[in-house]
Structure 1
Amino acid sequence: MMPPLGRRAEEALLGAVLLRPQQLPGLRWIHPQTLALPGHQELWRLLHTMDPATISPLTVHQALRELSEQRDQDRDLPSGVALHALPPHRLSALADACPDPRRGALYGGMVLDAAIHRAVDETGGQLRQLATADVASPAEARTVLDQTQHSRRRLERLGDSWRAVPETVRTILDTPMDRKISLAERRTAARQDLRAEATTIASLLSQPDQLPHVGWLQPGDFADRRNRTTYQAMTALADRHAPIDPLTVAWQAARLPGARHSDHELAELTRTGLPCRAEHAGTQVLTTAALDRLDAAGHRIRQAARVPAIAAPVLLTEAEAAIAPTGRDHQRLQAIEHDHQREHHGASEQEPAPATYDTDPEEIDL
């Protein structure tokens, strides 16, 4: 739904051009798609095809009607919107809605600001949709994250559009907020795999020498805060070449903030842990965490986009910061994939095992 102020800004921009059409050539940095309403887009596109000296509500209405008739006759032309829905009195109303026709560039900046908020909101929704993909491997998760490049490029283009705004307009609209904005957090995680997390932790506790093989795993990949603390404690001990057992891990975890397993729980995890399972289960932990962070990024971006008080450049910076962790996740998933490929190639390049025979070779009839 379009905010009332966004509609008023579009009406003021169009009204300013209808009343002072000589400023139209200096407003070409405002693309038709910047306006939200289809009728406003069509009108803005048409205005740029007309001689500014001839623009008035009456001549614009005549041009709209001719364009509408042309589209009705030529099926090769896009149908567009009902252009006849902008009669002279509607165009006059647009002119009347303009507070000051001399400020077309400022109203245009407001329109672009609103358009950036809409586009960022839409980008956040697309990221959340991507996060729902059904994936079963790091390669598939990396393919999903590859698609976030489109979102990054879109944010970059929006930034370019804002930098094309006249500096005097940007100076007015880039007003810093005088209060801190608190964005609503997600109520629940979109994805979590507690079984894979428990398997990873238990396997590492039972066989700590697996830790170097999951060096790409990070504490933040664990949704369960106790697993997160336990993994952080184990990596801290490993970095100091200290012994890793339920008691030392519990002792180290007690020095870390947040929830943690008791020493009895750690002993039970150690007892039930399966050796050589940490890398496989840890890969699933990272895959799940990467997609959940993608959903979290989309949520945060959408929440920020729905706060009109956040100026466009600040919003774009916030969106880029929210999406940045997905790039790091992509690199880690790619590293895992390359490791698996090297292991596969290494195994295939080994000397083949000698042939075995069910009978004595000398007895084989050649």
Structure 2
Amino acid sequence: MNPLLRAEQAVLGAVLIDPGQLTRLDWLAPDHFYRPVHEALLSALRMLRNDGHPALAADGPVPLSWVTDAVDEASLHVRGLTPSYAHTLISACPRSEHAPVYGRMVLEGAIHRTIAQHAIRLHQAARADVVQGEVEGALGTADVLTGVLTDLARRWGIDPRPVAPTAEPTAAAAVPPLQADQVSEDEQFLLAVLTEQPRAMDEVADWLRPEDFADPAHSQVYRCLGALHHRGEPIDRITLLWEAQRRGLLADGTLSGEQLTVIGDSMVPGSADWFGHRVMRSSLTRTAAASARAIQALADDEARGPGRLINHALHALGPLDEVRARWATAHGGLAPKQPASAPSAGGPPPARVQAARARSTPRPTPSPPAGLSSVPAAAPARSPTRGHP
């Protein structure tokens, strides 16, 4: 029998045997149960407790009304619950005092199930955004998933922090990207514009990366363009061909002369910024789908503990956060900031914090005495070279 089902039956049986166990299970929510009948029954038991059921104050054996009243109340919200099943739950509980342990098993199953469900929603939102030419659905769903992971971490009693798994999960086979031909065409047109238009790299170099290209060959071409731009060398079809040869991309078959010729001959009037945004949008939705598949594979691993699962799932969202930050930069905005954590109640008093800040504040440099030659001002610092991967 499914261990999770046995745990759900055992925790409910413990409460039916001993109503006082409810006070030890306040952290367990009805929606943590997989079976709707179990969810309805826990809600009914809590309602009876809040209404002051006589069984809570009874000395000696628990009256039968505790069981029958709970079944009657739960039956108003779900079908298929009978008094005989309530006695099945009682017989499924080895020891009523172990109710918190059984409840923890139920919560562990709920964490795996909840994370898997939200990962599926993220994957569906990413694919829908590809069709609609948007990113808002994937970004919004990713925010919801992050909030769910944070809440589950609080319920499990850990600090939510991204942790890389020791071994990458075996994800399901990747689904072929939607509108792959359109994505490849956008990438080719962008590379053509970057090759033929002087200064076009200035429009995209700050936020577009080689890994944003779906085609590996296009990624390598953009890497060559970025190297030429980084060194301040002129960019055209001849210098691009030379850079590809210097990197050994022609010798090892990564690129062919025909591919570079096609890019050079694609005389496309347009803006590098416009095509770059289209490539970036494709990269964001593609990364969201990949993160969703990785998280779903993590959640499907029943041997992975809840704490590790939550932190590994947060780590799997890291690539999406990185692409999202560059997407915000491309649109002239700032990446969304994570809400700052509230200071702990046991932290240092405000007066001590203010004093520490005052000590660390640099004091103004006194002006030199009159009659002494002043130190010549330092030469202005050289502006850093534009970085490019």
8 Å CA contact 1:226, 1:258 repeated in 2 = no
TM-score between both structures, scaled by the size of structure 1? 0.75
Alpha carbons of 1:57 and 1:230: their partners in 2 closer, same or farther (altered >3 Å)? farther
The match for 2:52 is none
The match for 1:344 is none
In the TM superposition, 1:285-300 aligns within 5 A as 285-300=279-294
The equivalent position to 2:196 in structure 1, one of 182, 186, 206, is: 206
Q: CA-to-partner distance for each residue in 1:26-85, whole Å, 9 max, x for gaps?
A: 11110111111111112212223335455848333321355368xxxxxxxxx5113x72
Alpha carbons of 1:154 and 1:258: their partners in 2 closer, same or farther (altered >3 Å)? farther
8 Å CA contact 1:21, 1:53 repeated in 2 = no
Larger CA deviation: 109-118 vs 236-245: 236-245
8 Å CA contact 2:40, 2:78 repeated in 1 = yes
The equivalent position to 1:99 in structure 2, one of 84, 94, 111, is: 94
SS, match of residue 132 in structure 1: helix
The match for 1:74 is none
Where relative contact order (Cα < 8 A, 6+ residues apart) is larger, the structure is: 1
Alpha carbons of 1:13 and 1:143: their partners in 2 closer, same or farther (altered >3 Å)? closer
Tell me the percent identity: 27
Alpha carbons of 1:232 and 1:28: their partners in 2 closer, same or farther (altered >3 Å)? same
The match for 2:214 is 223
User: Counterparts of 1:333 and 1:291 in 2: how far apart (Å)?
Assistant: 11
The match for 1:307 is 301
Question: Amino acid of the residue matched to residue 188 of structure 2?
Answer: A
The equivalent position to 1:62 in structure 2, one of 65, 68, 84, is: 68
Question: Amino acid of the residue matched to residue 219 of structure 2?
Answer: R
SS, match of residue 27 in structure 2: coil
Shift in Å, 1:195: 0.4
Q: CA-to-partner distance for each residue in 1:107-141, whole Å, 9 max, x for gaps?
A: 11110010011111110111112113356998x42
Matched, 1:189 2:177: yes
Alpha carbons of 1:114 and 1:24: their partners in 2 closer, same or farther (altered >3 Å)? same
Shift in Å, 1:246: 2.8
User: Counterparts of 1:217 and 1:329 in 2: how far apart (Å)?
Assistant: 9
Alpha carbons of 1:181 and 1:249: their partners in 2 closer, same or farther (altered >3 Å)? same
Matched, 1:233 2:224: yes
User: Counterparts of 1:301 and 1:258 in 2: how far apart (Å)?
Assistant: 35
Matched, 1:85 2:81: yes
User: Counterparts of 2:102 and 2:234 in 1: how far apart (Å)?
Assistant: 66
Alpha carbons of 1:198 and 1:28: their partners in 2 closer, same or farther (altered >3 Å)? same
8 Å CA contact 1:118, 1:305 repeated in 2 = yes
The equivalent position to 2:317 in structure 1, one of 323, 334, 338, is: 323
The match for 1:361 is none
The equivalent position to 1:37 in structure 2, one of 35, 38, 44, is: 35
In the TM superposition, 1:1-366 aligns within 5 A as 4-48=2-46, 49-50=48-49, 51-52=55-56, 54=58, 56=62, 58-67=64-73, 79-82=76-79, 85-87=81-83, 89-134=84-129, 140-142=134-136, 144-163=138-157, 181-190=169-178, 192=180, 193-207=183-197, 209-215=199-205, 216-244=207-235, 245-254=239-248, 260-274=254-268, 276-338=270-332
Shift in Å, 1:182: 3.0
8 Å CA contact 2:191, 2:222 repeated in 1 = yes
**Unaligned 5+ runs, structure 2:** 50-54, 159-164, 334-389
**Unaligned 5+ runs, structure 1:** 70-78, 165-176, 340-366
Larger proportion of helix: 1
Shift in Å, 1:6: 1.5
Alpha carbons of 1:189 and 1:268: their partners in 2 closer, same or farther (altered >3 Å)? closer
8 Å CA contact 1:10, 1:40 repeated in 2 = yes
SS, match of residue 291 in structure 1: helix
User: Counterparts of 2:196 and 2:18 in 1: how far apart (Å)?
Assistant: 78
The alignment's C-alpha RMSD in Å is 3.1
Question: Amino acid of the residue matched to residue 189 of structure 2?
Answer: T
SS, match of residue 242 in structure 1: coil
Question: Amino acid of the residue matched to residue 93 of structure 2?
Answer: C
8 Å CA contact 2:192, 2:264 repeated in 1 = yes
Across the two proteins, how many residue pairs are aligned to each other? 313
8 Å CA contact 1:246, 1:263 repeated in 2 = no
